[in-house]
């Protein structure tokens, strides 16, 4: 039953992740495909640059909601199927599974020819459902790096690198009678989420090396 619950949770999270907020918002409000503009990425930064703050705000809300909903739906599936997980295990183990597949859905959306975003917001928002303290630390790291460098991609990459480290530290602090292998399992799943985000930023990493990466701005471009 546990295996079935994991498979069902993964499927639900992937389908939910495939609902790309940026694509939906821009199509509904601007009757355009965000992937045809700017960096061609269906994410928050490209939406802000090409379509302004209104579309970006709705994209932000949608992507944050996706990760949180995926976690709670997966927990609900486990309770419904009565797989025997403790409350703490529901929050962590199933939450990470939901996060991984929600990111996969966002990056490779079933409904949009597998062309999506980079999964940063979805990945970070998952921690609101799993462990808000980890979420707060990751957001703080992102904001500090962004404020210093003005590069959204660099902030996202560094936050992704820190994801398994912070997860491990908080897991140890909150361990209680949790076995050590379980701490390492959750840390490993967090590392998978971080690695997915970093992989999706490989072109940004190259542009950062070449010093051709766009700096963050609240102003939209004039190509729309």
Q: What is the mean pLDDT of residues 51-78?
A: 90
pLDDT at position 168 over 90 = yes
Number of continuous H segments (helices) and E segments (strands) in the chain: 10, 0
Q: What is the pTM of this model?
A: 0.83
Domain ranges of the chain: 2-210
Give the CA count within 13 Å in the CB-facing half-sphere of 101: 21
Q: Residue 79 contacts by C-beta under 8 Å, 6 or more apart in sequence?
A: 90
pLDDT above 70: percentage of residues in the chain: 93
- Residue 220 pLDDT class (50, 70, 90 cuts): low
Q: So what's the pLDDT on residue 198? A: 92
């Amino acid at each position: 039953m546990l295996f079935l619950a994991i498979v069902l949770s993964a499927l639900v999270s992937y389908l939910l992740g495939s609902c790309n907020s940026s694509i939906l918002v821009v199509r509904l409000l601007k009757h355009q495909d965000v992937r045809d503009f700017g960096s061609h990425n269906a994410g928050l930064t490209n939406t802000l640059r090409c379509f302004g703050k209104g579309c970006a705000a709705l994209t932000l809300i949608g992507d944050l909601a996706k990760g949180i909903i995926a976690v709670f739906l997966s927990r609900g599936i486990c309770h419904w199927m009565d797989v025997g997980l403790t409350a703490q295990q529901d929050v962590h183990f199933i939450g990470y599974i939901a996060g991984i597949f929600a990111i996969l859905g966002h990056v490779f959306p079933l409904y949009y020819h597998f062309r999506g975003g980079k999964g940063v917001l979805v990945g970070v928002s998952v921690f609101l459902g799993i462990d808000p303290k980890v979420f707060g630390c990751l957001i703080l790291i992102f904001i500090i790096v962004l404020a210093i460098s003005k590069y959204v991609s660099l902030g996202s990459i560094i936050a992704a690198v820190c994801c398994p480290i912070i997860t491990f530290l908080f897991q140890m602090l909150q361990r209680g009678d949790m076995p050590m292998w379980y701490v390492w399992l959750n840390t490993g799943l967090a590392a998978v989420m971080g690695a997915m985000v970093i992989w999706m930023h490989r072109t940004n990493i190259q542009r950062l090396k070449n010093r051709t990466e766009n700096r963050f701005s609240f102003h939209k471009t004039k190509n729309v």
